[in-house]
Amino acid sequence: MVKRLHLGRASEAGVLAASLAAGGFEGPKTVLEGQFGFLRVFCTEFDESQLTRGLGDDFVTLSTVLKRYPVHATAHAAVRAVRDLQAEHGFSGEAVEAVTVTGNRRMIERHAIPEPADLMLAQYSIPFCVALALFREARDPESYDESALVDPQIRALTRRVRVVPEEGTAHGAMGSTVTVRLADGRHFERHEASGLLEAGELEDKFTRLTRGALGEAGAARLFHRLQRLENETSLDWLGAP
């Protein structure tokens, strides 16, 4: 479960560090490049000049890669492929006889989980995520709840999703070729290189994650204000009820 805290905790640490520095708080000047600094602890080779490359001009937050679906990154291409095939050909989840997903060795060894024991493991299971996508809205975090874990149709289809190696696939490649076979004998196939969030999709994701607390209108207002954060004179309102 700790993975779900990583981005938030990193952001929190950045705000805390900036706030402390603004208040005059000092730390060791060689925390990064010193003899016992982060570089020597975590790297066998490093280039100190890279620490300040593009400083003040390049902002990594503007190119951050986000997930479209609340599943492990290895399942994204396959989930997108089955969603697109279903939208294009109009078949239901009940009509699917079997699904084959190609992937790299890591996907086969770690993520071809036919019987996930809990919801967390289910979101790491390519077969489960593909099966769920054929019955529920795969982009909605609320689709991945305990009822999905015990849904007999989703569980049955999970067992009929095979993850197989694709010839020539690089170890780190996350693309998949998906073949869907229907009970009436029809076959459909699609290859997707990625299923990650694309330009223009961020607002939809933000709304899905926050509407439970803010409502649709409140989520939209907050999103648009956050998009113009550099124009704010104070950020005190972010912590307000």
Number of domains in the chain: 1
Q: Is residue 77 part of a domain?
A: yes
Q: Is residue 200 part of a domain?
A: no
Q: What is the CATH number of the domain that holds 108?
A: 3.30.1330.120
What angle, 0 to 180 degrees and rounded to 10, lies between the N-to-C axes of helices 126-133 and 76-89?
20
Q: Is residue 81 part of a domain?
A: yes
Distance of CA 52 to the CA centre of its chain: 28
- Mean per-residue pLDDT for 66-81? 94
Instruction: Print the domain residue range for 151.
Output: 73-192
Q: Is residue 8 part of a domain?
A: no
Asked if 177 contacts 191 with a C-beta cutoff of 8 angstroms, the reply is yes
The closest alpha carbon to 113, from 132, 94, 93, belongs to 132
The closest alpha carbon to 101, from 25, 36, 179, 45, belongs to 179
Q: Is residue 29 part of a domain?
A: no
Q: Is residue 199 part of a domain?
A: no
Asked if 161 contacts 154 with a C-beta cutoff of 8 angstroms, the reply is no
Q: Is residue 221 part of a domain?
A: no
197-219 pLDDT, tens digit each: 887 899 999 999 999 999 999 99
pLDDT of residue 172: 59
91-146 pLDDT, tens digit each: 999 999 999 999 999 999 999 999 999 999 999 999 999 999 999 999 999 999 99
Rounded to 5 degrees, φ, ψ at 109 are: -75, -35
Q: Is residue 16 part of a domain?
A: no
